[in-house]
Structure 1
Amino acid sequence: MNTGAPDARRYYALPSPFAMKRGGRLLGAQVAYETWGRLTAARDNAVLILTGLSPSAHAASNAEDPTPGWWEGMLGPGKAIDTDRWFVICANSLGSDKGSTCPASIDPATGEPYRLGFPELALEDVANAAFELVHHGLGIERLACLVGCSMGGMGALAYMVLHPGSVRAHVSVDTAPQAQPFAIAIRSLQREAIRLDPQWNGGDYDIHDGHGTRYPEMGMSIARKLGVITYRSAMEWNGRFARIRLDPEKREGEPFGFEFQVESYLQGHAQRFVRSFDPNCYLYLSRASDWFDIGEYGGGDIMQGLKRIQIERALVIGVSTDILFPLEQQEQIATGLSAAGAHVDFVALDSPQGHDAFLVDIPNYSRAIGGFLAGL
Structure 2
Amino acid sequence: MSPDFARQHHQQSVSMTESPHLFALTSPFAMKRGGSLLHGHLAYETWGTLSAARDNAVLILTGLSPSAHAASSASDPEPGWWEEMVGPGKPIDTTRWFVICVNTLGSCKGSSGPASIDPDTGEAYRLDFPELSLEDAANASHQLVQGLGIERLACLVGNSMGGMTALAYLVLHPGSARAHISISTAAQAQPFAIAIRSLQREAIRLDPNWNQGHYDESRYPEAGMSIARKLGVITYRSAMEWVGRFARIRLDSEQREDDPFGAEFQVESYLVGHARRFVRSFDPNCYLYLSRASDWFDIAEYGHGSVNAALAGIRLERALVIGVSTDILFPLSQQEEVAEGLRGGGAKVEFAALDSPQGHDAFLVDIAGFGGVIAPFLASL
TM-score > 0.5, shorter chain as reference? yes
The structure 2 residue matched to 1:274, chosen from 270, 279, 284, is 279
Aligned position for 1:339:
344
Indicate yes or no: 2:359 matched with 1:354: yes
* Whole-Å separation in 1 of the counterparts to 2:76 and 2:122: 31
Shift of 1:108: 1.5
The amino acid that maps onto 2:125 is: Y
More displaced stretch, 93-102 vs 109-118: 109-118
The amino acid that maps onto 2:277 is: R
Aligned position for 1:222:
227
Aligned position for 1:60:
71
Indicate yes or no: 2:205 matched with 1:195: yes
Aligned position for 1:71:
82
Aligned position for 1:162:
172
After superposition, where does 1:1-376 map in structure 2 within 5 Å? Answer: 8-135=19-146, 137-206=147-216, 212-376=217-381
Shift of 1:308: 1.0
The number of aligned residues is: 365
The amino acid that maps onto 1:20 is: M
Alignment partner of 1:11: what SS? strand
> Percent identity over the alignment?
76
Shift of 1:217: 0.3
Aligned position for 1:209:
none
More displaced stretch, 320-329 vs 249-258: 249-258
TM-score (norm 2): 0.95
Shift of 1:8: 2.6
Unaligned runs of 5+ in 1: 2-6, 207-211
Alignment partner of 2:141: what SS? helix
The amino acid that maps onto 1:24 is: G
Alignment partner of 1:120: what SS? coil
Alignment partner of 2:60: what SS? strand
The amino acid that maps onto 1:187 is: R
* Whole-Å separation in 2 of the counterparts to 1:288 and 1:257: 34
Shift of 1:110: 1.7
Alignment partner of 1:331: what SS? helix
Q: Please report the RMSD computed on the Cα atoms of aligned residues, expressed in angstroms.
A: 0.8
The amino acid that maps onto 1:13 is: A
Unaligned runs of 5+ in 2: 2-17
* Whole-Å separation in 1 of the counterparts to 2:313 and 2:284: 35
Alignment partner of 1:324: what SS? coil
Aligned position for 1:4:
none
Q: Deviations over 1:44-67 (max 9, x none)?
A: 000000000000000000000000
Q: Deviations over 1:181-224 (max 9, x none)?
A: 00000000000000000000000011xxxxx2110000000000
The amino acid that maps onto 2:274 is: H
* Whole-Å separation in 1 of the counterparts to 2:19 and 2:57: 18
Shift of 1:255: 1.9
Alignment partner of 2:280: what SS? coil
The amino acid that maps onto 1:231 is: Y
TM-score (norm 1): 0.96
Shift of 1:112: 1.1
* Whole-Å separation in 2 of the counterparts to 1:324 and 1:93: 20
* Whole-Å separation in 2 of the counterparts to 1:21 and 1:275: 30
Q: Deviations over 1:118-148 (max 9, x none)?
A: 000000000000000001x201000000000
* Whole-Å separation in 2 of the counterparts to 1:255 and 1:365: 43
* Whole-Å separation in 2 of the counterparts to 1:185 and 1:79: 37
The amino acid that maps onto 2:202 is: E
Q: Deviations over 1:55-95 (max 9, x none)?
A: 00000000000000000000000000000000000000000
* Whole-Å separation in 1 of the counterparts to 2:166 and 2:324: 19
Alignment partner of 2:209: what SS? helix
Shift of 1:111: 1.6
* Whole-Å separation in 2 of the counterparts to 1:119 and 1:204: 16
The amino acid that maps onto 1:126 is: A
* Whole-Å separation in 1 of the counterparts to 2:364 and 2:259: 36
